């Protein structure tokens, strides 16, 4: 069985809750929804078809998207059938941002990113069994549609006054940038997705971030007007830190699910550095740990915060979900080795390089002295300070003490081009030979 398959096999919802809805509430996954009592009953009944959409406006999904992927998986574990929509057509336009018009990507780029995102989504859902997941692309039903058909068959159900009240549209209308008809039409396209999936698959629920609520209700309203039936939507909360700041692509601090954009080491460190005030909420949203286990970790945060057991558990669980346990264990080994608790030589070059990328670093030419590299990496302010630190036994290269201020880096390079400088116990920098 593949690593992905093994992880999926280990996942389960917590049967200590009276219902799935109660567990979703406890985990903080529901910020806003359509009729709550109807949804509670719907999710407790026979299997339904539900969906979430992901637009290819970047070559990778990020942690904000991971919230949706894990919600899709939780509903699937309860017996419901997920449709994972990657928006080949909506990605050509992009959801309106509150501040400025998006730069439109070419159809070729969007098509390439559709493939990337479909591959990422596939890691988090099961495509086997009676409620097997299915990937869908809204370009399949949008591309054949003429402008006249779009306006007559879909546009007629939308009222401009209602569209103008959507948060992102309203914000843009009140800004200097304004909003183009292209982006103004996005909510119609997303609403059409729900209608199409209802007609083709009997889909009755859409999930998404609460910042997408206007687009989600465009879909529920359209299905009701066009088909005369009530369908549902769930909006998850935006993930914010205890100080109110959010993280994500739009904030410029995205943690990507693609290992080439955010390495397993960097992802592990991101979660390891979670504030005590945020870690329990993160465990609820981003892991499949039981309520009992999370409550144990909550007590550990209160009683022994210095051990950071909750953060280490969170980092291991989420990094394993995204990159697998082998990559996570390699990231842990790298972190330990950097501080002398493991062998740097045992790390593969890719893991070591990703770890060094998170540190201050210096470029080394052949014959570069360790003293000069200490200065270049900003571990000391001058060559004189570097020489004194070395002579006093406070400098290490690859966790081995250096005593000669004139020694070069050449014989210390790992994988032929990497090294770790350390001053004292905890001040680190990387060296990359050109």
In a domain, 81, yes or no: yes
Strand 232-236, strand 203-209: pairing: parallel
Percent of the chain with pLDDT over 70: 97
Q: What are the tens digits of pLDDT across the range 271-280?
A: 999 999 999 9
In a domain, 211, yes or no: yes
Claim to verify: residue 150 and residue 7 sit in the same structural domain: yes
Q: What are the tens digits of pLDDT across the range 36-63?
A: 999 999 999 999 999 999 999 999 999 9
Q: Which residues contact 194 (CB under 8 A, 6 or more apart)?
A: 51, 203, 206, 218, 219, 220, 222, 223, 231
Q: What are the tens digits of pLDDT across the range 202-230?
A: 999 999 999 899 999 999 999 999 999 99
In a domain, 303, yes or no: no
Q: Which residues contact 374 (CB under 8 A, 6 or more apart)?
A: 380, 386, 389, 390, 395, 421, 423, 429
Q: Which residue, 241, 263, 285, sits at the end of a domain? A: 241
Q: What are the tens digits of pLDDT across the range 176-196?
A: 889 999 999 999 999 999 999
pLDDT (mean) for 361-377:
93
Domain that holds residue 71: 3-241
Helical ranges in 35-143 per DSSP H: 36-44, 63-77, 107-121, 139-142
Q: What are the tens digits of pLDDT across the range 420-432?
A: 999 988 899 999 9
Q: Which residue, 209, 241, 273, sits at the end of a domain? A: 241
In a domain, 280, yes or no: no
Q: What are the tens digits of pLDDT across the range 298-341?
A: 999 999 999 999 999 999 999 999 999 999 999 999 999 988 88
> Is the pTM of the predicted complex or chain greater than 0.75?
yes
Q: How confident is the model at residue 252 (pLDDT cuts 50, 70, 90)?
A: low
Q: What are the tens digits of pLDDT across the range 335-359?
A: 999 888 888 988 888 889 888 988 8
Q: Which residues contact 35 (CB under 8 A, 6 or more apart)?
A: 230, 232
Query: In the β-sheet with 361-364, what is the strand arrangement from edge to edge?
Result: 361-364, 427-433, 418-423, 395-397, 400-401
Pair 374, 389: CB distance under 8 Å = yes
Q: What are the tens digits of pLDDT across the range 54-104?
A: 999 999 999 999 999 999 999 999 999 999 999 999 999 988 887 888 889
Number of domains in the chain: 2
In a domain, 190, yes or no: yes
In a domain, 276, yes or no: no
The CATH number of residue 20's host domain is 3.40.50.620
Q: How confident is the model at residue 247 (pLDDT cuts 50, 70, 90)?
A: low
To the nearest whole number, what is the mean pLDDT of the chain?
93
Q: How confident is the model at residue 33 (pLDDT cuts 50, 70, 90)?
A: very high
Residue 151: pLDDT over 60: yes
Give the pLDDT of residue 2: 63
User: How buried is residue 395: exposed, middle or buried, by Cβ count under 10 Å (0-12/13-18/19+)?
Assistant: buried
The CATH number of residue 392's host domain is 3.10.290.10
Helix axes 63-77, 309-323, angle to 10 degrees: 80
Say how far apart CA 360 and CA 375 lie, in whole Å.
11
In a domain, 262, yes or no: no
Q: How confident is the model at residue 410 (pLDDT cuts 50, 70, 90)?
A: very high
Q: Which residue, 195, 226, 241, sits at the end of a domain? A: 241
Give the pLDDT of residue 229: 97
In a domain, 265, yes or no: no
Residue 1: pLDDT over 80: no
């Amino acid at each position: 069985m593949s690593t992905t398959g093994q992880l999926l096999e280990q996942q389960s919802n917590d049967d200590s809750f009276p219902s799935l809805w109660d567990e979703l509430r406890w985990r903080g996954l529901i910020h806003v929804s359509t009729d709550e009592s109807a949804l509670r009953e719907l999710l407790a009944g026979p299997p339904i078809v539900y969906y979430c959409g992901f637009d290819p406006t970047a070559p990778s999904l990020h942690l904000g998207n991971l919230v949706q992927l894990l919600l899709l998986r939780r509903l699937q574990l309860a017996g419901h059938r997920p449709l994972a929509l990657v928006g080949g057509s909506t990605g050509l336009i992009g959801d309106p941002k509150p501040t400025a018009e998006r730069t439109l990507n070419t159809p070729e780029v969007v098509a390439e990113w559709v493939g990337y995102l479909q591959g990422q989504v596939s890691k988090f859902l099961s495509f086997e069994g009676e409620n097997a997941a299915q990937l869908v692309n809204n370009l399949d039903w949008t591309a054949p549609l003429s402008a006249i058909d779009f306006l007559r068959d879909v546009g007629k159900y939308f009222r401009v006054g209602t569209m103008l009240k959507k948060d992102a549209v309203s914000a843009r209308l009140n800004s200097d940038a304004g909003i183009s008809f292209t982006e103004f039409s996005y909510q119609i396209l997303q609403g059409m997705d729900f209608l199409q999936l209802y007609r083709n698959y009997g889909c009755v629920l859409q999930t998404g971030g609460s910042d997408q609520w206007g687009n989600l209700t465009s879909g529920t309203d359209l299905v009701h007007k066009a088909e005369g039936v009530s369908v549902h939507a769930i909006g998850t909360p935006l993930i914010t830190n205890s100080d109110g700041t959010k993280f994500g692509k739009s904030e410029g601090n995205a943690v990507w699910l693609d290992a080439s954009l955010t390495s397993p080491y960097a992802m592990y460190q991101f979660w390891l550095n979670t504030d005590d005030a945020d870690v329990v909420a993160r465990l609820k949203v981003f892991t499949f740990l039981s309520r009992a286990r999370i409550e144990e970790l909550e007590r550990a945060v209160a009683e022994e915060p210095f051990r950071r057991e909750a953060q280490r558990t969170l980092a291991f669980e989420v990094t394993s979900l995204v990159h697998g346990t082998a990559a996570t264990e390699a990231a842990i080994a790298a972190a330990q080795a950097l501080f002398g608790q493991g062998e740097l030589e045992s790390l593969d070059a890719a893991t070591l390089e990703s770890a060094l990328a998170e540190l201050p670093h210096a470029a080394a030419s052949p014959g570069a002295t360790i003293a000069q590299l200490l200065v270049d990496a900003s571990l000391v302010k001058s060559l004189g300070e570097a020489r004194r630190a070395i002579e006093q036994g406070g400098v290490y290269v690859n966790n081995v003490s250096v005593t000669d201020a004139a020694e070069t880096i050449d014989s210390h390079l790992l994988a032929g081009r990497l090294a770790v400088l350390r001053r004292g116990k905890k001040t680190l920098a990387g060296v990359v030979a050109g």
